[in-house]
Amino acid sequence: MSLEQERADDAADPLDPFRQFLALERDVLVLSAAMFAFSLGFQMTNRYMAEYMSALGASAVVIGLFGSFGNVISAVYPYPGGAISDRIGSRYALTAFGCCSTVGFGIWLIAPAFADVSVGPTSLAIVAIFLGVLLAQAWKSFGLGATFAIVKQAVPPSQLAAGFASTETFRRTAFLVGPLFAAALFYPFGSSDGEIVTAFQLILLVAVVVGALGTVIQHRLYRPDDDVGTEFEGVSRLLADLRSMPGELRPLLVGDTLVRFANGMVYVFFVIVVTRVLEVGLTLSLPTVGTVTLSPQSYFGLLLGIEMLVALLTMLPAAKAAERIGLKPVVALGFAVYAIFPILLINAPEDAAVLAGLFAFSGLRFAGLPAHKALIVGPAEMGAGGRVTGAYYLLRNLLVIPSAALGGVLWSGVSNPVTGGELVAGDPTVAFGVATAIGLVGTAYFLVFGTEFEAYR
């Protein structure tokens, strides 16, 4: 084989994950399709939840609490999910999880009907949204460890990043399509609270339909030979896995937790910055079509699409680059983008082109994701990838739980119930600035103390 042919073979091909997808075994193909369906429904809705809640009268503190509540679910769901799968089998368990997610989308859909019912300082509509996330995240949050274990066992150690890039590229295509679809559905509506609620209910209706179809197709076509989730063996096994976590993971875990805590402080508020702080939309003059005006809500969906397009185009090349320069520099790049983006966004001018550039930059944080996953599962013993991953993510996600609530407090402030004055003065710039500072500390810690996976040296 010539040098040119070898270079061509080594070149990163963004379409390769889709070719691999078409060659998958039937059960994996069905589960991948279900993953796409539920990722589509969740991405159409989740990134807009702060806007939806704000239109229904929720304060920044309540929105922050909602973000932290989602963090709790992400942390604790994988383990009971594994136990349920062990008990009733993966087919029926995944069907149940799909039904739960679909019902969760439905609860979000009907929540505005209860907006006039007061529950303490808030409304029953906001309470319903909190209830809905308990169900809506069901399919998304289960089976995390099993996914990592499958990739760990399927590819050579030196190609782990490329293996994760393939699976992530396909899954995150839904992350691209979902926000763009939401942007199209927002397009005919204005920016008043009533119109925002109506538009988002239309998006949620689509999510319900997609979730129902995904559940039915998965149940009818998925025929596993064995159960998933067997890597989760109860609390005693979990505690043992936490104690025996490979030493190489500890600096990564510390840096990752700080970076994710920082991102969690402000992530739920990104839509609020675009739609209510900067209030940036987009007006274009298109041939034959004429003038097209996107509201800030619709433009936010387009920005998310730009972000994910950059992610899809860079994940596989970054994974290939990691095979030459190591996992650590690629992971550190992703951490740095996570850290810097909040302070850039909150200080951005009211300019649509600048925001497009910023969200394109934000897409680079996903470039390090396959290398990050490879660095997590790489040091694990063969056959223990799922347990190591589950233990890592549980510990990280538990520590990140209060991040969004803290961000909400820094954003809007807290009043003193005794004097009526401000206990904590709220300022969005302070919230985003503190987030960036914490993220940079996490990135620096990983750069100084993080270790490279031996297979990539």
* CATH class label, 16-456: mainly alpha
User: What is the spatial distance between Cα 251 and Cα 330, in angstroms, rounded to a whole number?
Assistant: 15
For 415-438, what is the mean pLDDT?
84
Whether the pLDDT of residue 209 is over 90: the answer is yes
Whether the pLDDT of residue 88 is over 80: the answer is no
Whether the pLDDT of residue 159 is over 80: the answer is no
Cβ-contact 441, 448 below 8 angstroms:
no
Helix (H) or strand (E) holding 282: strand 282-286
Tokens of 447: 């750069």
With bands split at pLDDT 50, 70 and 90, how would you rate the model's confidence at 315? confident
User: What is the three-class DSSP state of 419?
Assistant: coil
Assign residue 166 a region (left: φ > 0; alpha: ψ between -120 and 50; beta: otherwise): alpha
Structural domain boundaries of the chain?
A: 16-456
Whether the pLDDT of residue 222 is over 90: the answer is no
DSSP secondary-structure letter at 381?
P
Tokens of 159: 């190609």
DSSP secondary-structure letter at 365?
G
Q: What is the mean pLDDT of the chain?
A: 82
Residue 152: per-residue pLDDT = 55
User: What is the spatial distance between Cα 289 and Cα 299, in angstroms, rounded to a whole number?
Assistant: 18
Cβ-contact 53, 200 below 8 angstroms:
no
Helix (H) or strand (E) holding 312: helix 296-325
Q: At what angle do helices 385-400 and 78-88 cross, to 10 degrees?
A: 140
Whether the pLDDT of residue 81 is over 60: the answer is yes
With bands split at pLDDT 50, 70 and 90, how would you rate the model's confidence at 457? low
What is the secondary structure of 80-131 as a DSSP string? HHHHHHHHH-HHHHHHHHHHHHHHHHHHHHHGGGGTTSEETTEEHHHHHHHH
Residue in 71, 455, 25, 15 with CA at minimum distance from that of residue 263: 71
Residue 220: per-residue pLDDT = 87
Q: Which of 126-130, 279-283, 294-298, 389-393 has the lowest mean pLDDT?
A: 389-393
Whether the pLDDT of residue 452 is over 50: the answer is yes
Residue 169: per-residue pLDDT = 65
113-129 pLDDT, tens per residue?
999 999 988 999 999 99
Whether the pLDDT of residue 46 is over 50: the answer is yes
Residue 352: per-residue pLDDT = 97
Cβ-contact 157, 12 below 8 angstroms:
no
Residue 321: per-residue pLDDT = 87
Q: Which of 71-80, 112-121, 258-267 has the lowest mean pLDDT?
A: 71-80
Q: Any residues with CB less than 8 A from the CB of 381 and at least 6 apart, and which?
A: none
Residue 165: per-residue pLDDT = 59
